[in-house]
Amino acid sequence: AKRLAKKEGLSREQQEEAQRKQKVDDLDARLKNGQELTQEEVAYLQKERPGLYEERMKERQEQESYRKALENADTKDDVDKLHMARLSQYMTETNTVMNDPAIGKSKKLEIIENIEARFELTEKATLRFKKSAEYADLPDDENEKIEAERAADAQPADEKQEAKAAD
């Protein structure tokens, strides 16, 4: 290892720093792709790059909140509105960053890459939800929802109890 370090002109400290940076980059890439980290990996990231750790945890909470909002949608139209609102948010963030002269080019690129990663996770979550049975069972829009509720209210009491027992 010493020969390799001398050959490449890197000190042992420089090699260790390069290895730490590579490990942090690998963990960051996994988080950006929505993958889980082990407790040890989380602790390592928290120790080596606390700011990055906080940013990724905030993004993870954002995605979890979005998934819950999808699950709580009353109609397919509501799902589409949630999705479009999220995409609009990302476009606004992107335009704000791109038009801010106080942000340097390399920092802009970093921010835009993070927005893009969040966008991709949102797209995956939306697609996954739209393939679910829960989504398939949603009424298309508010009118269809109201009609379904009226039909349920119009059922005789015996049929309502049977329907509840079936659930």
Q: What is the mean pLDDT of residues 68-95?
A: 97
Distance CA 85, CA 101 (A): 26
Read off the pLDDT of residues 101-137 as tens digits, 9 standing for 90 and up. Answer: 999 999 999 899 989 989 999 999 999 999 999 999 9
Q: What percent of the chain has pLDDT over 70?
A: 87
